[in-house]
Chains A and B, each alone.
Chain A
């Protein structure tokens, strides 16, 4: 069990790293990246996350259905075997807010994650992975949505 002191030191280090990368608005206490979650386009999200110019890569796999009957629950998953891939973000191009979620992996977790998202309409879904050396990779897939998942 790490002590409370260690945990605090760790989260402070993470926050400092994020602040150093210009990710944190000055007043934010947590590392939750409001700018990224408010962003309405792929470019804005990537900018807010510090993932510059991602390149398409076969080493990152994005699993999503071709057709989602219910946009309220769309299962998606991303995985990569590349070492040092510590962050994976899911972006949905035509949602009201583009960024769905960001997952950060510690050393003891494989760089693979599955979750379920909401999609307002048929759109491209992107998984973007940030590697240890600062490179960013992406994989995309179009998911057709028959019934949107954002109320209405």
Chain B
């Protein structure tokens, strides 16, 4: 099981800035280990974010997204107390969902 995401959602103006830091290796499948064997690709392919259960953002990622991916976006009309849920799926089919409250 992977480590939890760190999600911070900050109300600002009429919306909220959401910052997400996921914990994932994001192997490209091109790197070689010390014995010269290729490390198999292992990366997040799909990310979605929801405000109070309603999906507001989806993203499809390739291998070029950095290790322990960071993403920032702005949700319009979100106010303090609203719930932001972020989930991802990687190419092994692993999933993780975490939730934060707008502050």
Contacts and interface: CB of A to CB of B under 8 A. Distances in A.
Interface of A: 1-2, 7, 10, 30-33, 37, 72-75, 77, 90, 92, 95-97, 99-110, 112-119, 149-152
Given A1-B53, A7-B55, A96-B28, A33 B60 contact: yes
B76 A108 contact: yes
A103 B59 contact: yes
B32 to A, nearest CB: 6
Give the top 10 A-B pairs by smallest Cβ distance, nearest first: A151-B31, A100-B64, A1-B53, A116-B66, A114-B72, A106-B56, A110-B74, A37-B62, A101-B61, A108-B56
Contact of B73 (A74, A95, A97, A113): A113
The size bracket of the interface on B is 35 or more
Contact of B69 (A10, A95, A102, A116): A116
A108 B52 CA distance: 11
B77 interface: yes
A108 B54 contact: yes
Given A37-B63, A101-B61, 9 more contacts: A1-B53, A37-B60, A77-B72, A99-B62, A105-B57, A110-B73, A110-B74, A113-B71, A117-B64
Nearest to B62: A37
Contacts of B45: 30, 32
A115 B32 contact: no
